[in-house]
Amino acid sequence: MAEATVNAVPSEPRARTRKKNLRLWLSASWIAFVFLAALLAPWIAPHDPLAQDLMLERLPPVGFNGYETGFFLGTDSLGRDVLSRLIYGAQIALTVAVVAATAACLFGSFLGLLAGYFGGWVDRVVSRLIEIWMAFPPVLFSILLVAVLGSGLTSVILAIAIIDWTRFARVIRAETMVQTRMDYVQSARIGGATRLGTLFSEVMPNVLPTVVALFALEMGVAVIVEAILSFVNLSISSDSPTWGGMIAEGRASIHFAWWVLVAPLVVLFLTVLSFSQLGEGLKEQFDPLAR
């Protein structure tokens, strides 16, 4: 009995590892699926996402109550195909996610590296800037920025990048300070490497895994912020298919056509959750202490 208990103990960490790996691969698979759908939208979307036909309004999904139509996820109040709008909405959501996260990552990580490595007045200036920026509620700040900049894809991307660079700067600053105290940095300096050379050749590669994990998390944040902005009609044109816009439209017809609201909600939830799980999974893979 005691032997069986001893043998069972090592299997528990392996079971947890398998569960985490499964979660990571499921998240990555869903994200890859959404990216592929967005890239192939012109070829795989069954209908024109903007085509309206009031004769086809609020048709239920295929198979609902035995109903058979040419619209797999049904149609909305204007007779537009819900599935096609979801696919084209993925293009907008992922464009915002990739571009905004990249801009926030580059700017925030650069400032975080400088502050964490050089310290002194550089660290004080960057830290103070981060504190001031983080004092503003992010969602309200993004709405204010878009209202000032004007609606449109570029304005949404700028608003998200301007707000979320602090997420990268704060974390990368702390990680850089830890790495700077490591022996390999001191060895590089003793070996004759310059401070900038040590920063970019020694410190930055060891901080990169944290940047990658943060980038995945930030893409999920960007997707949800874009959905919020489009929900309140501050994103791109209301005629263009966006997940947030579809949710806003579906809310008005929830009692008559629940699928118009449920479909974009489910896709948005799964996408944001997958980015979050991917970021956490990458963090655990790169950082043994987080496992």
Both tokens assigned to 284: 């655990």
User: What CA–CA distance (Å, rounded) separates 20 from 70?
Assistant: 39
| Reported pTM | 0.87
CATH of domain 2-290: 1.10.3720.10
CB 97 within 8 A of CB 153: no
Measure the CA–CA gap between 215 and 164, rounded to whole angstroms.
11
Q: Count Cβ atoms below 10 Å from residue 12 Cβ, excluding itself.
A: 9
Burial of 61 (0-12, 13-18, 19+ CB in 10 A): buried
Which pLDDT score is estimated for 282? 84
Q: Answer for the pair 139, 224: CB distance below 8 angstroms, yes or no.
A: no
User: What's the rounded Cα separation, in Å, for the pair 50 and 171?
Assistant: 42
Q: Where are the domains of the chain?
A: 2-290
CA distances for 31 relative to 24, 49, 111, 223, 239, angstroms: 11, 22, 29, 12, 25
CA dihedral 130, 112, 167, 227 (to 10 degrees): 110
Query: What tens-digit pLDDT sequence spans the chain (291 residues)?
Result: 444 444 544 566 666 677 778 888 999 999 999 999 999 999 999 999 998 888 888 888 887 765 666 788 888 988 899 999 999 999 999 999 999 999 999 999 999 999 988 888 999 999 999 998 888 888 788 888 888 888 788 889 999 999 999 999 999 999 999 888 888 877 877 777 777 878 888 888 888 888 999 999 999 999 999 999 888 888 777 678 999 999 999 998 888 889 999 999 999 999 999 999 998 888 877 765 455
Angle, vertex CA 19, rays to CA 15 and CA 20, nearest 5 = 120
- Rounded to whole angstroms, how far apart are CA atoms 173 and 212? 15
Q: In terms of DSSP H, where are the helices of the chain?
A: 2-8, 11-39, 41-44, 82-118, 120-134, 138-149, 153-180, 183-190, 195-198, 204-231, 243-252, 258-286
Encoded tokens for 279? 């970021």
Whole-angstrom Cα distance, residue 66 to residue 82?
A: 19
Under 8 Å CB-to-CB from 3, ≥6 apart: which residues?
none
Q: Would you state the pLDDT for residue 9? A: 47
